[in-house]
Amino acid sequence: MDRRTDPEPPPADTAPAGTARHWLLFVHQLPSHPSNLRVRTWRRLQQIGAIPVKQAVYVLPDTANAREDFAWLTTEVKAAGGEAAVFAGDSVDAWTDDELIEGFRRARQEDYAALAADLERASKRLTPLRRKAGASPRRDDVRGARDSRAAADGRLLDTFRERLMTIERIDFFAAAGRDRVTTLFADFDTRVSGDAKRTPGTAPARDRTAYQRRLWVTRPRPGVDRMSSAWLVRRFIDPRARFGFAADRDAVPHRAVPFDMSGVEFSHQGDGCTFETLCSAFGLSGPALARIAAIVHDLDLKEHRFAAPETATVGTLIDGLRLACSDDDTLLAQGMALFESLFLSFDQAARAAAPPAARRTAPARNATKRAVRKQRRGPS
């Protein structure tokens, strides 16, 4: 392993996709006292997203945030009488980059699964306050109980939001399970807050002129929802849109438009995916888009609501693209090309199935308009 201690901060938070990744190793030795130092150190390592590669050796991707986190932890360990050092290297002995990345994804997938289970249990408890048989509580008592429960549900909602944001901050490689959690969280949020704005289709369509030539930012390693949403943006909303990637909404540049992230406008809403949210927000519809939305919904949310015959094939193609493309920009571009092909095919099929009057070509319509205008003017 190519080692160097106390490395200088890199110019950016993440290494460019497709290049050799760099790693930070935190090596430490703890004294026997105080007895709770070991637990505190372990918890802190969990909080910053580090994973163990051997006893007392933990690793993080080499970023400015990771260096700062390890520097603080080194200070804490040394202040307690222990020893700690940070090493940076292009590789980690006995671990390939792919193995390390899979280790990070597996750890975050477990975090997402635990949060999803808690959200499901909490959602089942969101039942209306009922009156016991034969009881006739005073109205003020019922109102007070409801207010108390609403306050408790609100605090629980804040707890879930904080947990989700915490996991996303250390989800360095887009682990599976995040989309399911955001759907469950959006549903829980809607039921707790009763916010009508979260119901798709209730707000007027956005003015697309306010979204021209913008940078649209989403999470790394795009999948079906992010690919299709980027394609939708480029084709129908912002033809000159540029795309970038960030770990969470806090890392999105000023004036950029975040999408498919927790806590942003253009993401999962209610029981819909980001693609459906964008269609609703910008008033986009049509048979071809409806077919794509059905495919994206079922793949992204792991459902069989629409059961479109193309769903499994599209999912297999996207899995192949994610395996073939290590560069996120290339992966997104390939995914957008896939959805452009799907749209052209679906749109042509819809036009072919439309009644003859609806299939008239533009020249035919223009000829009809000219004939009407000539008839109105009378003979020349």
Predicted confidence at residue 131, as pLDDT, reads 44
Predicted confidence at residue 190, as pLDDT, reads 81
Low-confidence residues of the chain: pLDDT under 50: 1-20, 129-135, 195-202, 364, 368, 372, 375, 379-380
Predicted confidence at residue 198, as pLDDT, reads 40
Predicted confidence at residue 135, as pLDDT, reads 47
Predicted confidence at residue 359, as pLDDT, reads 52
Q: Is the dihedral of CA 172, 177, 179, 181 positive or negative?
A: negative
Residue ranges per structural domain of the chain? 4-95, 102-126+145-194, 208-357
Predicted confidence at residue 185, as pLDDT, reads 86
Predicted confidence at residue 357, as pLDDT, reads 57
Predicted confidence at residue 203, as pLDDT, reads 53
Predicted confidence at residue 372, as pLDDT, reads 46
User: Cis ω on the peptide bond leading into residue 34 (within 30° of 0)?
Assistant: yes
8 Å CB contact between 223 and 300:
yes
Predicted confidence at residue 145, as pLDDT, reads 63
pTM of the complete model beyond 0.85: no
The residues facing 275 across adjacent strands are none
Taking CA atoms, 134 is separated from 127, 130, 137, 140, 263, in Å, by: 20, 12, 10, 18, 44
Class of domain 4-95: alpha beta
Predicted confidence at residue 143, as pLDDT, reads 60
pLDDT tens-digit readout, 79-104: 889 999 999 988 887 889 999 999 99
Predicted confidence at residue 370, as pLDDT, reads 57
List the alpha helices (DSSP H) in the chain: 37-47, 64-79, 97-124, 139-169, 178-193, 224-232, 274-281, 287-300, 311-324, 328-353, 362-377
Closest Cα partner for 266 from 281, 250, 256, 251?
281
